[in-house]
Amino acid sequence: MDPKIAGGARLPETRGALEVVLFSKSGCHLCEAVEAEIRSMATIGTSLTVVDIYEDSVLHDKYWMRIPVVRVEATTFSKPR
């Protein structure tokens, strides 16, 4: 399987558990859709953490116009708006 996602970006190669972080906010339907998609593709050993950006002012300032934002290991993905 080719480790590419939408837009042709490549997922980082990993040798163990894959850590995925979804930066989200309550009531964000796009965030909910992305979370469902990640969960449907997750394999054993994949860790998904959902972070509400409203609980951290630094994350809010960084991501509020870009959510949903997904970080896989050290690579961050978001759709430009």
| pTM across the whole model | 0.76
| CA gyration radius, the chain | 13
Residues 8 and 51: their CA atoms lie apart, in Å, by 25
| Domain encompassing residue 35 | 17-73
For 14-35, how does the pLDDT look when each residue is reduced to its tens digit (9 = 90+)?
556 789 999 999 999 999 999 9
Residue at 4 is within a domain = no
Provide the domain count of the chain: 1
Residue at 45 is within a domain = yes
Paired tokens of 60: 């809010």
CA 25, 27, 30, 34: dihedral to nearest 10 degrees?
A: 60
Residues 18 and 76: their CA atoms lie apart, in Å, by 14
Residue at 41 is within a domain = yes
Q: Which stretches of the chain drop beneath a pLDDT of 70?
A: 1-16, 81
